[in-house]
Amino acid sequence: MAKEFKGGCLCGHIRFTAAGKPLNPHTCSCTMCQRHSGSLSQVWVEFDSQHVTWDGPGGEPKLWRSSEYSSRSFCNECGSTLGAIDDEPIVALVLGTFDAPNRKELRPSSHSYVSKKPKWWKVQIDH
Q: In whole angstroms, give the CA distance from residue 74 to residue 64.
A: 8
* Closer residue to Zn ion in complex, CB, 3/10: 10
Shortest distance, position 108 Cβ to Zn ion, whole Å = 12
**Least distance to Zn ion, CB of residue 20, Å:** 23
Residue 84 near residue 48 (C-beta atoms within 8 A): no
Does the footprint of Zn ion cover residue 33 (CB under 5 A)?
yes
Considering only the stretches 12-20, 64-72, 86-94, 96-104, report the one whose residues sit in contact with Zn ion under the rule CB under 5 A: 12-20
Rounded Cα distance between 102 and 32, Å, is: 25
How far is residue 104's CA from residue 112's CA, in Å, rounded to a whole number?
20
Give contact residues for Zn ion (rule: CB under 5 A). Answer: 9, 11, 13, 28, 30, 33, 75, 77-78
